[in-house]
């Protein structure tokens, strides 16, 4: 059984910026361990060699958690390539199970800090990016850790094509307000929708399901890259 931090089957370097949050949880079961060894190297984006991206239109999900949303989008849009970034190995292993079960051939995984991959990507290459239920970091002294801040918006503005969508969601009201202020203050993004009704093609994430069950209200923010 692999410890959930063992990802040597897919070298991906180290992030120069500090990553907050967990990389590993409980040890992986036999099937997940085997998928990390056998399947991950085949779908992994490896930054130790020059980055080559598929020619199909690219969508990206940052922090896919258990991968339910990424897997469903991949199933719904087989002609698009879905890139998922997630440094938490238990989440990556869960996503590998879904790739295997659903026989998905249009998913690539970056099992690390999305900032590293964003920095390696060419300009104007992404058609859509999801940042769903990012860590809220509610304490004032941790606010700089929030993903949707000025540095990452600059990264996203560079890689998103003109007209591409940046889709955000949260059920933490102060984070929703904060993200709206951050993105609205950035000249590269135009607000297309902000509200509590899910976009028509919405696919629930695991975190969202739990939040709704617990009585929390989702907020959806959709922006276009100008
Ligand atoms: C609150 S969870 C939400 C997971 C999932 N989006 C959902 O809605 O079920 C936030 C996720 O973002 C991931 N994350 C945090 N910082 C990240 C980064 N710099 N790059 C990629 N993923 C990151 C965490 O590991 C965690 O799985």
Would you say 147 and 17 are in contact if contact means Cβ atoms under 8 Å apart?
no
Estimate the share of the chain in helix, then strand, then coil, as percent rounded to the nearest 5: 35, 20, 45
Residues 33 and 138: their CA atoms lie apart, in Å, by: 34
Indicate if 113 belongs to the active site: no
User: Which of the residue ranges 30-44, 93-107, 198-212 would you say has the lowest mean pLDDT?
Assistant: 198-212
Q: Is 81 in the pocket of ligand 1 (CB under 6 A)?
A: no
Q: For residue 61, give the H/E element and its range.
A: strand 58-62
The answer as to whether 25 is a domain residue is no
Answer yes or no: is 103 within a domain.
Answer: yes
Asked, for residue 173, whether it belongs to a domain, the answer is yes
Residue 6 has pLDDT above 70, yes or no: no
- Residues sharing a CB contact under 8 Å with residue 14, sequence separation 6 or more, in sequence order: none
Whether 209 is in a domain gets the answer yes
Q: What is the model's pLDDT at position 117?
A: 97
CA 26 – ligand 1 centroid, Å: 17
- The alpha carbon of 90 and the centre of ligand 1 are apart by a number of angstroms equal to 12
In angstroms, the CA 82 to CA 71 distance is 9
Which one is predicted more confidently, 49 or 128?
128
Pairwise CA distance, residues 165 & 167, whole Å: 6
pLDDT of 1 above 60: no
Would you state the pLDDT for residue 4?
Answer: 47
Q: Is 167 in the pocket of ligand 1 (CB under 6 A)?
A: no
Residue nearest to atom 24 of ligand 1 (CA): 63
Please indicate whether residue 17 or residue 94 has the higher confidence score (pLDDT): 94
Residue 104 lies in domain = 39-225
Distance, CA of 43 to CA of 66 (rounded, Å) = 16
Element (H, E) at 167: strand 160-170
Residue 63 pLDDT > 90: yes
Which of 46, 100, 119, 135 is catalytic? The answer is 135
Number of domains the chain is built from: 1
**Ligand 1 pocket: which of 4, 111, 134 to mutate (most atoms within 8 A of CB):** 134
Mean pLDDT of 141-163: 97
Give the confidence band of 88 by pLDDT, cuts at 50, 70, 90: very high
Q: Using CA atoms, how far apart are residues 40 and 42, in angstroms rounded to an integer? A: 5
* CATH code assigned at 79: 3.40.50.150
pLDDT tens-digit profile of 109-145? 999 999 999 999 999 999 999 999 999 999 999 999 9
Q: How many CB atoms lie within 10 A of CB 204?
A: 16
Task: Check whether 15 has a pLDDT greater than 60.
Answer: no
Residues 91/67, Cβ–Cβ less than 8 Å: yes
- Is 113 a domain residue? yes
Mean pLDDT, residues 211-217: 97
Q: The pTM is what?
A: 0.94
155: in domain:
yes
For residue 22, tell me if it sits in a domain. no
Q: Is 216 exposed, middle or buried (0-12, 13-18, 19+ CB in 10 A)?
A: middle
Ligand 1 neighbour 133 (Cβ under 6 A):
yes
- Separation of CA 147 and ligand 1 centre (Å): 9
Residues 6+ apart with CB under 8 A from 130: 59, 60, 61, 62, 69, 73, 167, 168
Spacing, Cα 66 to ligand 1 middle (Å): 9
Secondary structure (3-state) at 153: helix
Q: Is the pLDDT of residue 12 over 60?
A: no
87 lines ligand 1 (CB under 6 A): yes
| 193 within a domain of the structure (yes/no) | yes
């Amino acid at each position: 059984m692999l410890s959930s931090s063992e990802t040597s089957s897919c070298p991906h370097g180290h992030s120069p910026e500090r990553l907050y949050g967990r990389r590993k949880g409980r040890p992986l079961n036999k099937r997940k361990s085997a998928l990390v060894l056998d399947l991950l190297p085949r779908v992994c984006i490896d930054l130790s060699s020059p980055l080559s991206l598929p020619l199909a239109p690219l969508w990206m999900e940052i922090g896919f958690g258990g991968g339910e949303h990424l897997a469903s989008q991949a199933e719904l849009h087989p002609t698009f390539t879905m890139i998922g970034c997630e440094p938490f190995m238990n989440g990556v292993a869960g996503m590998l199970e879904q790739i295997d079960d659903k026989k998905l051939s249009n998913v690539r995984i970056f099992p690390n800090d999305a900032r590293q991959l964003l920095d390696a990507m060419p300009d104007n290459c992404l058609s859509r990016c999801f940042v769903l239920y990012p860590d809220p970091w509610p304490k004032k002294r941790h606010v700089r850790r929030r993903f949707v801040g000025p540095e990452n918006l600059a990264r996203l503005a560079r890689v998103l094509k003109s007209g591409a969508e940046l889709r955000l969601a949260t059920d933490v009201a102060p984070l929703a307000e904060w993200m709206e202020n951050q993105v609205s203050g950035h000249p590269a993004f135009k607000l297309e929708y902000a509200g509590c009704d899910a976009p028509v093609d919405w696919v629930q994430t695991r975190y969202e399901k739990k939040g709704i069950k617990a009585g929390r209200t989702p907020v959806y923010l959709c922006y276009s890259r100008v």
